[in-house]
Amino acid sequence: MLLVALVFAACTQLDKSSQTAILTGKIDNAESDFAVLRYQKTADTSFFDADGLFRFSINLKEGDYYSFSHGRENTVLYLQPGDSVYLTLNPEEFDESIVYSGLGSEKNNYLAQRYLKDEELRSNNQQIWLLPADSFLMEVEANHVVMQALLDSYNTLSKFQLDFLNSEKARLTLGNAIEKMKYPQYHQFYTKETNVELPDDYYAFVADIDITNKDYRKLNEFTSYFDYLVEYKAMQLVENDKTIANRGHSRTLARLKVLPGLISDQEELNKALYKTMAEHVAYSDINNIDSLVQDFKLLCKDSVSIANIDSTLKSWESLAAGMPAPDFSCVDLDGKEYKLSGFLGKYVYLDIWATWCGPCLREIPELEKMHEEYADKNIAIISISIDDTPEPWRKMVTEDNMAGLQMYANGAWKSDVAVLYKVRSIPRFILIDTEGMIINVRAERPSGDIRKVFESYGI
């Protein structure tokens, strides 16, 4: 547990046997009168004293990473028992101005420089994703060498403790692997290519990463890498096992199937299985999900997790296929009110979006095409903004001359449409039949296979 003292005390050099670390400092041109220190799921606040100083006193058993934030910016630091670190920075040049002094400062000055170097190497990141695979691998490996050299140079001067040094080596290794995992998806997105050509040995690096390594498993980077690894293994399974490929919800089923081969501890496995199933229930299609739920229950041995999934699914029963679509109203640019029930006799394809939502905006080009393709068909394609206020929506729709029925739902996430249809993330697409019955409250996106769904209904 983090303990916060609001009164500044002078920095003193602590004995290494101490289970306390001290972080103090001063922020020039401060944007507020407090700073926040976060660790895992905890967050503690230190308000500045009369001299503008903040102070955190942290009880800890071993070294670990913390996030320090002020205003809209944050930075990562590493604290160990016995550290007494003094931090200065200026929010006008947040990352560039960070300087640490005191006991434990060397590793944190390295982390500050590491962030700046990583930012420099990523300054042209989009261009990297456009490269063919061989060139991309060369670029990523060159960047890894630069980052490793930076760590080595600081370690030569400061002789980092072994725990910190191993953690940093692990972060670099996992970061390198994550970039490689991301490449196929990012390359496809930026190049618009249907297929991504990869060398036969592209994923050879996977075998070099021991996912049981304790230096890996405690890091945030490991969680990200492990998620990509599960996705990669699942894709392989779908490609090689036609019985899974031909099942409904095949991608989630494959994820559930590969997890036991990656996690030996049953308690950890239960958590991973639950996370996978809960994410599917929260964000993916839940029509005809019974078979997938049974597979989950066969693998998961935790009765609480199973009960939670059952309870969540039960809460969605009113939005299942064949149930009446809840009625709601929204307004167009002229303030004219429309009700969903006013479109009875037509199929309705709802697009729930907002102007600030990047994935939503990426669907607009396909939506524009659909407005043309289905102009004379028996379907209403309706885009409904849940922006906090109507001004950004009105501005974008008007300036971009957006086609089709453009509506605004007052209340944003608390609007009738968001509440009635349990909208927790966007974009969200909903398909309703001519009699006002739900076909799917998580329908395919315009960029996906929604046209095939339309065709199956004779649209």
CA distance 127 to 121: 12
Residue of 80, 71, 70, 74 whose CA lies nearest to 95: 74
**Per-residue pLDDT reduced to its tens digit, 137-183:** 999 999 999 999 999 999 999 999 999 999 999 999 999 999 999 99
| Nearest CA among 142, 150, 151, 210 for reference residue 176 | 142
- Strands 84-89, 20-27: pairing is parallel
Q: What distance in Å separates the CA atoms of residue 67 and residue 41, rounded to the nearest whole number? A: 11
Global pTM reads 0.80
CA distance 126 to 129: 5
Sheet with 347-353, edge to edge strand ranges: 337-339, 329-331, 405-408, 379-385, 347-353, 428-432, 438-440
The pLDDT tens digits of the residues spanning 88-117 come to: 999 999 999 999 999 999 999 999 999 999
pLDDT band at 1 (very low <50, low <70, confident <90, very high): very low
- Domains, the chain, ranges and CATH? 2-102 (2.60.40), 125-315 (no CATH), 329-456 (3.40.30.10)
Give the torsion sign (CA, 187, 191, 196, 198).
negative
What does the alpha-carbon distance between residue 153 and residue 349 come to, in Å, rounded to a whole number?
Answer: 58
| pLDDT tens per residue across span 268-308 | 999 999 999 999 998 888 888 999 999 999 999 999 999 99
Would you tell me how many other CB atoms lie within 10 Å of the CB of residue 419?
14
- Which pLDDT score is estimated for 320? 92
Which residues, in sequence order, are bridge partners of residue 213?
A: none
